[in-house]
Structure 1
């Protein structure tokens, strides 16, 4: 009996210490691991949101660009981090949704090794081609691919990036052969489209819009369900060549499994407060970033979405034989 009381007292003391630490959190800078290169759409969106969340928490958020292997290196690094709330992962559809289906060996589990904290708004993609490409619309590009096999080169931000995965998905759905050219980041991939070294790219709206506005590339289609207000003249894939098609890049913040719930709640609350700032959300909307209903921003919603995406991509991989090994 004395032993049980001692153990209970120890647990109570530990709980009290944990609660006190969570209440004080954060007392030093927080690191967000972004598993892609600096300057790309994931990095840009993460920095924009991190700046605002940091203000609410009263501590800076430092971005750690741990790129490589389609984001899986950074994700694995985050999974191994101390679960104290000071290291978190900027999750992405590739390494937190598709990776379990696309890699035979993965050193982390997106569901079991992480605590979901909150979800970002979604970002559709735009299919753009170099200005001199003969295809004037998406139907023309599909026709070009069918008549000239092995001659359509589509760049992407790297193996496992959304620009890679969605390009592969579209090519499979349209039954065309496309050469996918991986780069070390979305920036150089887009530069080579503008320069004419490759034919096109699926790029996220927040980095694509300036290039389209300045007429450096030609936009042929968007991957969203409906047309985007900023690109009213650009059709969706669903209304043209792929009825029912819809795909966007989704993101979320994850913490290593075991991070105290009180800490997770505090970070989530800070983010939800940011998302009530109309000036900030209007700015994101102006970049064609798709705002979500408030209830979908929570950690619980992100957890359910992650599980659903892992299952979805396993089905896609089985159907299309997409593999990254």
Structure 2
């Protein structure tokens, strides 16, 4: 009798382990890989959904920043990771729909190498001006850039990011030439903009909203097709004299290709509940984002559609980066 309890416990433990394995679970943490430096939109969003995802999956969730290459470094890391649901990419338009279009060689295929889990949000971009740079409108900015080609600096979260693409598109549509200054994420770029080391910046509204609300940075335009509810008095670029300009970014979670369907389903169910939580929705909307979960199939379709859109824009504007 004295051996029955340990044997039963061992047997029960084995059954639990088998069940956990079948569901794609283990004691290891879930890593949310952010392919940018801390402080930007992707990083902030990962840290908003992380706690809820941890609670629902009963797994420890760790946010891991892997900046570099306009998001390519972090994306490649996840593409090559073991497909077990424990390494996820906090993916956005840059590495998924822009970089494959404008970079000649990237170390992953954004369609074939990932298994989308769910969309998290869509975020407009904004044109920001340093407090030390006296420009009050897009028309004035364009006029000054045309008068001094390549002299006005415009920061982005990195070469090849959606922010960078938005800058190049602005140049192509207006004929104004800016000096692009890439950083490893929005956080470092915003710090330099606040200090006046760069004149202007195109950034996701999510990461810059706090500085805008505090009056530390001025926003002269939004890149969306319509004005955003969080900044109702700020005109769109189209309203500011740049017709047909529209750009925004999406953000969601993706696993490596080959991740079991049941694992994707479990993660999708948990993430949808997190994104639909009133507190999370309020937090995202307060930052200027439009929260919204999706099915894996819907997110995959969005990535493909955005690839087509940005490829057409890149071709018309003759954009390609090394």
- The equivalent residue for 2:7 is none
- The equivalent residue for 1:195 is 195
- The equivalent residue for 2:219 is 219
Per the alignment, in what secondary structure is the counterpart of residue 165 of structure 1? helix
Structure 1, residues 154-194: CA drift from partner, whole Å, max 9, x if none? 01121122221211122212221111011222122112222
C-alpha RMSD of the superposition: 1.9
Q: Hey, what's the Cα distance between the residues in 2 that align with 1:140 and 1:22?
A: 61
- The equivalent residue for 1:48 is 48
Q: How far 1:30 moved relative to its partner?
A: 0.7
Give the 5 Å matches for 1:1-325.
21-23=21-23, 25-292=25-292, 297-325=294-322
Per the alignment, in what secondary structure is the counterpart of residue 62 of structure 1? strand
TM-score by length of 1: 0.89
Per the alignment, in what secondary structure is the counterpart of residue 163 of structure 1? helix
Q: Hey, what's the Cα distance between the residues in 1 that align with 2:151 and 2:145?
A: 7
Q: Hey, what's the Cα distance between the residues in 1 that align with 2:68 and 2:279?
A: 34
Q: 1:100 to 1:60 in 2, by over 3 A?
A: same
Q: Hey, what's the Cα distance between the residues in 1 that align with 2:125 and 2:115?
A: 27
Structure 1, residues 62-114: CA drift from partner, whole Å, max 9, x if none? 12211111111111111111111111111111111112222222221111111
Q: Hey, what's the Cα distance between the residues in 2 that align with 1:172 and 1:165?
A: 10
Q: How far 1:19 moved relative to its partner?
A: 7.6
Per the alignment, in what secondary structure is the counterpart of residue 149 of structure 1? coil
Q: Hey, what's the Cα distance between the residues in 1 that align with 2:111 and 2:57?
A: 26
Q: How far 1:312 moved relative to its partner?
A: 2.0
Q: Hey, what's the Cα distance between the residues in 2 that align with 1:126 and 1:43?
A: 18
Q: Hey, what's the Cα distance between the residues in 2 that align with 1:161 and 1:190?
A: 15
Q: 1:146 to 1:48 in 2, by over 3 A?
A: same
TM-score by length of 2: 0.89
Q: Which runs of 5+ in 1 are unaligned?
A: 1-16
4+ residue runs of structure 1 moved beyond 4 angstroms?
Answer: 17-20
- The equivalent residue for 1:3 is none
Q: Hey, what's the Cα distance between the residues in 2 that align with 1:78 and 1:98?
A: 18
Per the alignment, in what secondary structure is the counterpart of residue 240 of structure 2? coil
Q: Hey, what's the Cα distance between the residues in 2 that align with 1:167 and 1:200?
A: 10
Asked if 2 retains the 8 angstrom alpha-carbon contact of 1:124 and 1:205, the reply is yes
Q: How far 1:26 moved relative to its partner?
A: 4.9
Question: How many aligned positions are there?
Answer: 306
Per the alignment, in what secondary structure is the counterpart of residue 291 of structure 2? coil
Q: Hey, what's the Cα distance between the residues in 2 that align with 1:285 and 1:57?
A: 25
Q: Hey, what's the Cα distance between the residues in 2 that align with 1:243 and 1:102?
A: 23
Q: Hey, what's the Cα distance between the residues in 2 that align with 1:24 and 1:243?
A: 49
Structure 1, residues 21-43: CA drift from partner, whole Å, max 9, x if none? 24362543111211111222211
Q: Hey, what's the Cα distance between the residues in 2 that align with 1:279 and 1:20?
A: 30
Q: Hey, what's the Cα distance between the residues in 2 that align with 1:161 and 1:193?
A: 18
With 36-45 and 109-118 compared, the bigger mean Cα shift is at 36-45
Asked if 2 retains the 8 angstrom alpha-carbon contact of 1:34 and 1:42, the reply is yes
